[in-house]
Amino acid sequence: MKPPLLLAALLLLPASVASTTQPLPSSFSPAVHAAGTTAAGDAGAAVPAPSWQWPLAPRPKVLRNFDPPPKPWLSGHRGVDLGAGYDGAPVTSPAAGTVSFVGVVVDRPVITIDHGNGLRSSFEPVESTLAAGNPVAAGQVIGTALPGHCGVSACIHWGVRRGEDYVNPLQFVMDLRPSILLPLGGPP
């Protein structure tokens, strides 16, 4: 591969892939990688996570974006608010996992799904009949959206944590990499 092409290819890859020391599998797809890959171990090798999907259908409008605080103890928005269409809309698991928590936090019903590889999704306000320990499949209904989180708009808050750190849930269902413009005729 010519050096300019290699540089362009590296610029288009997420940092977690560009820094890996192992070769990428022949089936590697940047969009799939961006939608569901996690780092594993200290070696920096990428471990594919299951394919993720939106927790609401049809694809919801993002009403409020991920806006993490500069320090863990400060205020911020540690997830995204998604338009639910209507109160009582079914909420589905974005990936397979196991229910790790169902209950009320402060004054809102919350359900948390452990997806493995240190990833956990939480949804609120969501009423669920599931219990901790129940396995769930990707796309399985885990509860219904309740009113109250976004005022008069029906919505849910979706948060994702990797270990103890909150991450942008949209990175698992969208390609959030910046666009890179290349010359029309290809690299010089």
| Interval 51-63: pLDDT, tens | 899 999 999 999 9
- pLDDT in the model for residue 1: 43
- Section 140-151 average pLDDT: 91
Return the exposure string of 4-19: e unless at least 16 CB atoms fall within 10 Å of the residue's CB, then b. Answer: eeeebeeeebbeebee
Q: When comparing pLDDT for 24 and 46, which is higher?
A: 46
| Residue 113 CA from chain centroid, whole number | 12
Q: Is the pLDDT of residue 94 over 70?
A: yes
Residues forming a β-bridge with 92: 141
Return the minimum-mean-pLDDT range out of 28-37, 50-59, 150-159, 165-174.
28-37
157 vs 52: CA distance, rounded Å: 17
For each of the domains in the chain, give its residue range(s) and CATH number, in order of start: 3-48 (no CATH), 62-172 (2.70.70.10)
Give CA separation, 73 vs 32, 48, 63, 67, 77, in Å: 33, 31, 24, 14, 12
Angle, alpha carbons 81-87-91 (nearest 5°): 60
